[in-house]
Amino acid sequence: MDGIILVNKEKGMTSRDVVNIVSHVCHTKKVGHTGTLDPMATGLLVICVGRATKLVEVLTSHQKEYIASMIFGIKTDTKDITGTIIEQRETHMKSDQIKKVINNMPTTYQQEVPIYSAVKINGKKLYEYARKKEEVTLPTREVTIEKLQIIDWQEQEQKLTFLTRVSKGTYIRSLVEDIASHLNTIGTMTELIRTKVGHFTLENANTISEVKNNSYKLYSIYEILHEMFETRIITGELEKKVLNGAKIDNPEQLETVFFINEQKEPLALYKKEEDKLKCYKMLKIGIE
């Protein structure tokens, strides 16, 4: 079985739990996802099965969209409400203050990676440092906030809900703290829903029950890549070159090309390299 299953992860489950369920249902260990969701978070997980696991890297690089809620006046060690409270203070944020900061947040900046994350430093995951209470310098990474929009503001509860579309590697827990910092206060994330990964949407996701009952939709590699990239049907000598992973001419100067045969079978993904096209992912069944 080769393809992609969209799953609506439930609260309390790890992303690994979902992978294990899909692996059991599909009778294969060749299963991966395109971006972890914390146990407290819900929403869209893009699960790649079989030969589609070759696309994990391709799909992980896509923008993701979330709806997040945060509360001002609380700071936790994990940057979300499941953690231990390490600071509290009274806050009196007003609607105009919130709007001003949301409208003026930098679109691209260096974001600090949370200590409770799986990012590795010197071969050890950051959360391992945190659990052992060992000091470590937290890395930063450049992130881009493509969209940041207020959905709801409850002044009495000092609770903000917003929609955001972000680049790969953005931590929404850190974005929440960054928003609070721009207001000269503290805050922590209380809820998180992932609503989009690239052009995949939560509305099209299967529930865990549907997956377990084998009533899920499996998107083929052709369906997925045909929507994402320029697609070209090839035959003859050009098909042979592509199946051999050879560099080929790029007269259209395309950035990425999805090659298929006349039967619409996926052959390979090619990317632009100087004035040529170079094999990026070989997809033909029987060829590794």
Ordered by start, the domain boundaries in the chain are 3-62+199-220, 64-197, 229-282
- Strand 187-197 and strand 42-49: the pairing is parallel
Tell me, what's the pLDDT at 60? 83
List pLDDT tens digits, range 57-73: 888 878 899 999 999 99
157 pLDDT band, cuts 50/70/90, is: very high
Topology (CATH level 3) of domain 229-282: 2.30.130
Between CA 15 and CA 2 the distance in angstroms is 20
CA distance 123 to 36: 19
> How far apart, in whole angstroms, are the C-alpha atoms of residue 16 and residue 30?
13
Categorize the per-residue pLDDT at 158 as very low, low, confident or very high, splitting at 50, 70 and 90.
very high
Active site residues: 38
CATH code of 3-62+199-220, in short, is 3.30.2350.10
Taking 70 as the threshold, does the pLDDT of residue 287 lie above it?
no
DSSP assignment string, 128-190: HHHHTT---PPPEEEEEEEEEEEEEEETTTTEEEEEEEE-TT--HHHHHHHHHHHTTS-EEEE
For the chain, percent of residues with pLDDT exceeding 70: 99
Least confident of 70-79, 123-132, 216-225: 123-132
Which pLDDT value is given to residue 59? 86
Q: Where are the alpha helices (DSSP H) in the chain?
A: 15-26, 56-60, 95-104, 126-131, 172-182, 208-212, 221-228, 236-243
Instruction: Name the band, by pLDDT with cuts 50, 70 and 90, for residue 1.
Output: confident
With 90 as the cut, is the pLDDT of residue 268 above it?
yes
Amino acid at 117: S
Mapping DSSP to helix (H, G, I), strand (E, B) and coil, where does residue 260 land? strand
Q: Is the pLDDT of residue 4 over 90?
A: yes
For the segment 221-267, what is each residue's pLDDT rounded down to a tens digit?
Answer: 999 999 889 999 999 999 999 999 999 999 999 999 999 999 999 99
The per-residue pLDDT for range 200-216, each reduced to its tens digit, is: 999 999 999 999 999 99
Please state the pTM of the whole predicted model.
0.89
Instruction: Give me the mean pLDDT over the 47-53 stretch.
Output: 92
Query: Across the chain, what does the average pLDDT equal?
Result: 92
Q: Which CATH superfamily is domain 64-197 in?
A: Pseudouridine synthase (3.30.2350.10)
- For 103, list phi and psi in degrees, rounded to 5: -75, -20
Q: Is 127 left (phi over 0), alpha (psi -120 to 50) or beta?
A: alpha
What contacts 91, CB < 8 A, 6 or more positions away? 72, 73, 158, 185, 186
User: What is the rounded CA–CA span in Å between residue 117 and residue 258?
Assistant: 34
Q: Check if 3-62+199-220 and 64-197 are the same fold.
A: yes
